[in-house]
Amino acid sequence: MTMKIKVHETKKCEDLQGARKALAKELGVPIRNVKESEEDYGHFEPEYTLEVLMKDGRPATYVVYDNQQSAIDAAVDDLGERFYDDSSILGAAIEYFGFGTLSDYLSGYDNDEMADLESLCDELSSEEFARMLQQNGGVDYRGFAEYNIGELGAAWHLAEYDSEEISLSNGMYAYRVE
């Protein structure tokens, strides 16, 4: 009995090999030091999660994307979900960019309500203000996340270890998460 391998499975395997090879080359380690990881970074939606045994003998984990746009999209998706779920993260972004920027991503408020919101933003802690917004609705979390990633870059969000983006020789992008 012959086993048929589907074309997309073969391509996925070739792409994994390409990702391993390109990351190994960039980091200056042998390809045998780069393996597919079992760590779960599904929230970042990477094409690959790779475990690397670094030159100094310590392990590192990288999420790898087919291209820069897929990394940006994954960062925006994850950050938008975090804004929706976590008032401390949303609050930090509001504090960093200010109410004026956030107001571009609010809907369903008239001018008087927007003025009241701005006053509340000044009076409450950033986390309390964010929690209030989450409860009241009217926030375009994805839009605000796109703005954040556009200003700070995908690496700021994806590369939890060092905030560095690595452009690989095969067109893929890698980010160290641990």
What pLDDT, on the 0 to 100 scale, is given for residue 2? 45
Sign of CA dihedral 20, 21, 23, 24: positive
With a cut of 50, say whether residue 10 has pLDDT above it: no
Neighbours of 90 (CB within 10 A): 26
Provide the whole-model pTM.
0.87
What pLDDT, on the 0 to 100 scale, is given for residue 8? 40
With a cut of 60, say whether residue 6 has pLDDT above it: no
What pLDDT, on the 0 to 100 scale, is given for residue 12? 59
Q: Alpha-carbon distance 54 to 57, whole Å?
A: 5
Amino acid at 43: H
Q: How confident is the model at residue 13 (pLDDT cuts 50, 70, 90)?
A: low
Q: How confident is the model at residue 3 (pLDDT cuts 50, 70, 90)?
A: very low
Question: What token pair was written down for 90?
Answer: 């949303």
